[in-house]
Each structure stands twice: as structure tokens, then as C-alpha cells.
Structure 1
Amino acid sequence: MTMKTNRKTTTQHRHRRIRRKVFGTPERPRLAVFRSHQHIYAQVIDDVAQHTLASASTLDTELREELREIGTATQEAATLIGRSVAERALQVGISQVVFDRGGKLYHGRIRALAEAAREAGLQF
């Protein structure tokens, strides 16, 4: 039986493979990133309690003015979201996370978000 492969199924397989290894604990929660065509979302998740501890996205009302000039589907927007989620995580007392890129390749907007979160103080 041959399976038809396309970008979506390849991403889903990669995501499942990553999630077998990446698990968020209360001491070191998971920084999960979801990227759509127009937006990017980041959440800090405790998988044991199944609870989101901090989050940021290009749909946040606090960031809307800054995103209006640069757009929501850019690396600059991803940098802003990475910085924002890191600041919110540090406010709740989280400094170490494990990075979950959601099956996407580590380049472009995913990489920009990760590097901005590192610069803002998150360790991973």
C-alpha cells in the first residue's frame, strides 16, 4: 500500500514524531508554536496538568497596533510574539521551557520566534 505524501501529511508525521519526545512538565513546560498562513501562535503548556500558563499570538489586542504596520505573517511579527510570550512566561515564574515547533521546519517565522524568546530570557 502506497501512501500519498504531501506537505500536510509530512508535517503531521513530523509533529507526531516530535511529540513522542517533547513533554511539558510543571518545572519545564512546553513552548508550543502553531503557524498558519496569516498568523502565528505561541503557548507555554504544562502537559501534566493540561493547562496553558502563558500565551501570545498575532491576534492579541495589546499587540494589534504594533502588528498593523508590519503585518501578521512576517518574521518581524514572529519576533514580536516570541518576545511577548517570553515576557509573559517570565512574569508567571517560568524561565526554562522545551521547544515544540509543531512539526514545522526550524527556519523563517518559527526560528525568528524561538530566537526572540531566547533573547527575552527563556532558556531552551
Structure 2
Amino acid sequence: MEVNIKRNRTRFKIKMNSKLPRVSVNKSNRYFFAQLVDVHNAGKIVAALHEKSFVKAAKLAKEKPVERVGKMGEAFGKMVKDAGITSVAYDRSGYIYHGKVKAFADGMRKAGLTL
């Protein structure tokens, strides 16, 4: 219950105070999922990315999960820049800005996005 309150509070702040598209992240113990939603354009999803596509290559390279999500953030940032978007609002969905959530944001910044 408390987690839903946190998530709703952060989404409300982003929706009301930002005219930027929103990058929303979800994570589990195994996977990390991110999507770009343009709130003011009928909620159209511009890009979506799932960590599963990076797992096989990362296991061969023996990367840690946080490093893998960082590379995923860079790839996601490139996809968003190719769509013509340079700045986004980062919705961490109530998760603490630490570990995978922080690595993903840093990866998007490396790709040239403004958060």
C-alpha cells in the first residue's frame, strides 16, 4: 500500500509540473523495464526497452547487473534521441535513486539526454 502511495505521488508531480515526456521504470529482482510515455500526446509510448535483450551478452562479458542496466540506459537514450527528443522527466516509480535506477539514469545522461 505504501509503495503505491509513493508511486502515485511521484507520477502526479511529474504529470502536473512537466510538459516533458516521461521515462517510467519498473524493476523486479530479475529484470528491469523502461518505457517513454508522452503524457500530453494521448499517452503514446515512444520507446520501450526490456533488460532481457542485454542478459545474454552481459553473461558472456561477465558484467554485473548494475553495469548491464547502465548500458541499457545508454541504448535507451540513443533510441529516444533518434525519436527527436532531447529532454525527459525521469519517473522512478517510487524506487530509491540507487543501484539500477541510478545506473539507468546515468546511462541516459551519457547518451546525451537531459533529465
Confirm or deny a common fold (TM above 0.5).
yes
SS at match of 1:23: helix
SS at match of 2:3: helix
Q: Is 2:3 the counterpart of 1:11?
A: yes
Matches within 5 A, 1:1-124: 9-23=1-15, 28-48=20-40, 49-60=42-53, 63-69=54-60, 70=62, 74-124=65-115
**Root mean square deviation, CA, Å:** 1.9
TM-score of the pair, normalised by structure 1: 0.80
Greater Rg by CA = 1
TM-score of the pair, normalised by structure 2: 0.86
Structure 1 alignment gaps of length 5 or more: 1-8
Percent identical pairs in the alignment equals 26
TM-aligned CA deviation for residue 54 of structure 1 = 1.2
SS at match of 1:22: helix
Describe the superposition over 1:53-102 as per-residue Cα deviations: whole angstroms up to 9, x where unpaired. Answer: 01212123xx354233346x810121011111100000110110000001
Structure 2 alignment gaps of length 5 or more: none
Q: How many equivalent residue pairs?
A: 111
SS at match of 1:28: coil
